[in-house]
Amino acid sequence: MSLSVYACTAEIFLPTLQNLVQILGKAKAFADAKKLEPGVLEGLRLAPDMFPLKRQVQLSTDFAKNSTARLAGLEPPKFPDEEQSLDELIARVQKTIDWMKTITPSQLEGGDRRHIVVPLRTRTLEMDGLPFIQRWALPNFYFHVTATYSLLRQAGVDVGKQDFLGGV
């Protein structure tokens, strides 16, 4: 037996993005309760040379939508990286969820054998679909979602592993 490309990508990204909305909602409630200055949580970094929280959220959405689009042979939808507040970040994740929901399993069929080309800042990544899923899409996606969760947990937001897993 075997798994569809949809099951190994969109069906993983979608619930995780929904969990991310809940986690960011808890961050928003925390910021409101503590009367935090705007931008404090959004600017948190795990290390000085790592991206701030807002960029971690943007990248979480990018790896979900761009990877899915590329595996389906579609042009990835471009969202400008302009979000500054938690509300705007939540809206971006929601917009990504809405786009992800337009993708059907049949659009991703054969994506594992598709030749994927990703323009990066300093080079071009070229891989077949299967290693692209295994070594690029999934690890990068989880990396940025986990970084977002870790930053908020470190800041004292009341999130636990169950929020990350979505109540499994």
- Contact indicator for 128, 115 with CB cutoff of 8 Å: yes
Mapped onto helix, strand or coil, the DSSP state of residue 161 is: helix
Least spacing, CB of residue 136 vs a copy of itself, in Å? 6
Q: Which residues contact 87 (CB under 8 A, 6 or more apart)?
A: 28
Binding mask 62-101 for a copy of itself (x = CB under 8 A): ----------------------------------------
- Contact indicator for 155, 41 with CB cutoff of 8 Å: yes
50 part of the interface to a copy of itself, by CB under 8 A: yes
Burial code of 64-95, b = ≥16 C-beta within 10 A, e = fewer?
bbbbbbbbbeeeebebeeebeebeebbebbbe
Find the part of the chain contacting a copy of itself (CB under 8 A) among 28-36, 45-53, 73-81, 93-101.
45-53
Least spacing, CB of residue 166 vs a copy of itself, in Å? 7
Give the β-pairing of 115-119 and 124-128.
Answer: antiparallel
Token pair belonging to 31: 């910021």
Of 40, 81, 106, 113, the residue at the interface with a copy of itself (CB under 8 A) is 113
Binders of a copy of itself among residues 129 to 168 (CB under 8 A) are: 130, 133-136, 138-140, 142-143, 146-147, 149-150, 153-154, 156, 161, 164-166, 168
Residues near a copy of itself (CB under 8 A) are 1-5, 7-8, 11-12, 15-16, 46-47, 50, 109-110, 112-113, 125, 127, 130, 133-136, 138-140, 142-143, 146-147, 149-150, 153-154, 156, 161, 164-166, 168
